[in-house]
Amino acid sequence: KAGVTQTPRYLIKTRGQQVTLSCSPISGHRSVSWYQQTPGQGLQFLFEYFSETQRNKGNFPGRFSGRQFSNSRSEMNVSTLELGDSALYLCASSVAGGGQETQYFGPGTRLLVL
């Protein structure tokens, strides 16, 4: 079974731009969670989608948004990029989600904002 895939793997943007990251979960998984990892703040939960609905949301500004499609693929969007948005963005998938079961992570998208 193919693992979780994330595209693109690397991205360079400038302040003020917007960016869209994509995550394809393992086949049969309906939950996709997104995390941000930075050297200063570590790993932080962004949001979780299940069956095309946002089920849970972390403490991030509204510039961070996401969506999930009927095939469970998910995208996250960051608008009006700031230098502090430079980070590794990880997505994870699971069958039912809610953090109550094993999550499978993709390799991440490394975003650099200049």
Partner 1 sequence: KQEVTQIPAALSVPEGENLVLNCSFTDSAIYNLQWFRQDPGKGLTSLLLIQSSQREQTSGRLNASLDKSSGRSTLYIAASQPGDSATYLCAALGDSNYQLIWGAGTKLIIKP
Instruction: Give the residues lining the site for partner 1 (CB under 8 A).
Output: 4, 42-45, 56, 58, 90, 92, 98-108
Least Å distance, CB 16 to partner 1, is: 29
In terms of Cβ atoms closer than 10 Å to its own Cβ (0-12, 13-18, 19+), residue 16 is exposed
Our measurement of the distance from residue 42's CA atom to the centroid of its chain's CA atoms, rounded to an integer in Å, reads: 15
Least Å distance, CB 15 to partner 1, is: 26
* CB closer to partner 1, 42 vs 62: 42
* CB closer to partner 1, 79 vs 88: 88
Least Å distance, CB 108 to partner 1, is: 5
* CB closer to partner 1, 7 vs 80: 7
Q: How far apart are CA 71 and CA 73, in angstroms?
A: 6
Pairing of strands 109-113, 10-13: parallel
How many C-beta atoms lie closer than 10 Å to residue 36's C-beta? 21
* CB closer to partner 1, 72 vs 93: 93
87's tokens? 């980070």
Least Å distance, CB 110 to partner 1, is: 9
